Amino acid sequence: MYGDVQMNVKLIGYTPNPEKIPAMAAKLTHSNAKPEELENTSDKELQAILKQVTEFGHSSVIEHTNFTFAISDVSRSLTHQLVRHRIASYSQQSQRYVNLKKPSYVIPSTIAKNKELKKTYEQTMNHIWDEYNKFLKLKIPAEDARYLLPNATCTNILVTMNARSLLNFFELRCCQHAQWEIRELAQKMLSLVKKVAPTIFMHAGPACKTRQICPEKKTDCPMYPK
């Protein structure tokens, strides 16, 4: 990363009782009781119900639980991948309204570990930002000057996903063959949600872990299902 900038991921909000509500929803489908009457069900029973439906793969009930993440200092390359996950809500820092006068960018490790390549990379980035700031001083609107900025440019984004969408996200992006930056993001997000909803995310991870399959068919991967 540029300077001291590092990816930062925080879980800033989630549905109250994130595991109780899906468990109530699961029980409701096999009960004559009204939804509000199920609130008196013991936590122990609800936990057992949720564990059972989760292991059976009946994941529609966990759509009732949402999680919101504050993600900062990641690249535009990452967010271009992230927003492909359709069942989610996104609010991203705008390059149209925000002047990014100070260089802030991601350096891939393959470049960072090579002193000469890193030097060239940083010189290129600094040149881009010099030109970007020059355009702004010439009264070129930020929405047009931003065309100069690279995919490496740091950005900030708020993301809200329901638990079922997150399970799918983790299957795809925790995979060893996912792009390294979004894989790091997925691993950080998974670590956070496991702390507040351990039953829902008990088996979460790449498809080789959750379904014992490899969608990529990478038989040389150390994680490839045996």
Q: Which of 76, 146, 164, 173 is catalytic?
A: 173
> Of 45-49, 109-113, 117-121, 213-217, which gets the smallest average pLDDT?
213-217
pLDDT (tens digit, 9 = 90+) per residue, 69-125?
Answer: 999 999 999 999 999 999 999 999 999 999 999 999 999 999 999 999 999 999 999
Per the model's pLDDT, the better-predicted residue between 224 and 176 turns out to be 176
Q: Is 14 helix (H, G, I), strand (E, B) or coil?
A: strand
Per the model's pLDDT, the better-predicted residue between 30 and 85 turns out to be 85
Query: How far is the CA of 103 from the CAs of 25, 43, 81, in angstroms?
Result: 48, 51, 22
Domain coordinates of the chain in residue numbers?
98-148
Please give, one letter per residue, the 3-state secondary structure of 61-95.
Answer: HHHHCEEEEEEEEEEHHHHHHHCCCCCCEEEECCC
Identify the bridge partners of residue 69 per DSSP, sorted by sequence position. 11, 159
Beta-sheet pairing, 8-14 with 154-162? unpaired
pLDDT of residue 167: 97
Handedness of CA 119, 121, 123, 129 (dihedral sign): negative
Rounded to an integer, the average pLDDT of 125-146 is 97
CA 6 from chain centre, in angstroms, equals 15
Q: What is the mean pLDDT of the chain?
A: 94
Q: Is the pTM of this model over 0.85?
A: yes
pLDDT category of residue 2 using cuts at 50, 70 and 90: very low
Identify the bridge partners of residue 74 per DSSP, sorted by sequence position. 155
Tokens of 20: 């109780």
Torsion region of 61: left, alpha or beta (phi above 0 gives left; psi -120 to 50 gives alpha): alpha
Shortest CA distance to 9 belongs to which of 162, 196, 189?
Answer: 189
Tokens of 178: 């996912």
Q: For Cα atoms 32, 36, 38, give the angle at the middle one, nearest 5 degrees.
A: 60
86 is annotated as an active-site residue: no
pLDDT at 19 > cutoff 90: yes
Rounded to an integer, the average pLDDT of 198-205 is 95
pLDDT at 4 > cutoff 60: no
